[in-house]
Amino acid sequence: MNNNPILVNALRFLGLLMLQVLVLNEIELHGFVNPYIYPLFILLLPFETPHWLQLLLAFFLGLMVDIYANTIGVHAAATVAMAYIRPFLMQMFRPSGGYDNKEHPVMFTMGINWTIFYVSSAVLLHHVILFSIESWSIVNIPETLIKIVIGVILSVFIMMLYQFILVPKQ
């Protein structure tokens, strides 16, 4: 397995984007909500990635998803917000020993509990922003809330599945 972080992340960027656009965007459960996996790219970036770079990557990733979904700016806004709070989440869920000698916030090194807390709080923020912008009004709040809850459950499930299967155990 090649350990060059730039190459690994570039491939992950493309892979997750294509997975989202070509496969997951086709899943429409009861015409209601579909799961999102592409935010996982931001969540799996190495710990020492500069914050501004995370934000820029989030913006471009979101914009690419937007272009395919005809919703320019919506996914980008949600993903940038998620990338912005990522360091604060890491601070919040900081394990007692800190993040010493760990490079990647992946399930294999961080453990399953930490990963579930970390991924689901980030995805919750992402989905709240995404669906609020999409509904663009305060009229159908109950529908939006249901969409958010179901969406978060689905997306987190798929992201955990991805980590189980496809993230290399270094």
Partner 1 sequence: MRNLLLFLKRYNSFFVFLFLEILCAFLIVKYNHYQRTQFLSSSGVLTAGVLNVKNGVTNYFTLKQQNEILAEQNAALLEQIINSKKDIPKQEMLFITEPEIVTRKKYEFIPAKIIDKSTHKLHNFLTINRGSDDGIYPQMGVVGPRSIAGIVHKVSKNYATVMSVLHKETYISAKIKKNNHFGSLTWDGQNQFIVQLNDVPNNVPVQKGDSIITSGFSDFFPEDILIGKVEAVSRLPGSNFHSIEVELATVFRNLSQVYVIKFNDYQEIID
Q: By the criterion CB under 8 A, which residues form the site for partner 1?
A: 21-22, 25-26, 28, 31-34, 51-52, 55-56, 58-59, 62, 66-74, 76-77, 80-81, 84, 133-136, 140, 143
Q: Which one, 56 or 141, has the nearer CB to partner 1?
A: 56
Q: Which one, 67 or 149, has the nearer CB to partner 1?
A: 67
Looking at residue 86, its amino acid is R
Q: Which one, 73 or 95, has the nearer CB to partner 1?
A: 73
Shortest distance in whole angstroms from residue 20 CB to partner 1: 12
Shortest distance in whole angstroms from residue 113 CB to partner 1: 28
Q: Which one, 88 or 169, has the nearer CB to partner 1?
A: 88
Shortest distance in whole angstroms from residue 52 CB to partner 1: 4
Q: Which of 131, 122, 130, 143 is nearest to 45 (CA)?
A: 122
Shortest distance in whole angstroms from residue 29 CB to partner 1: 8
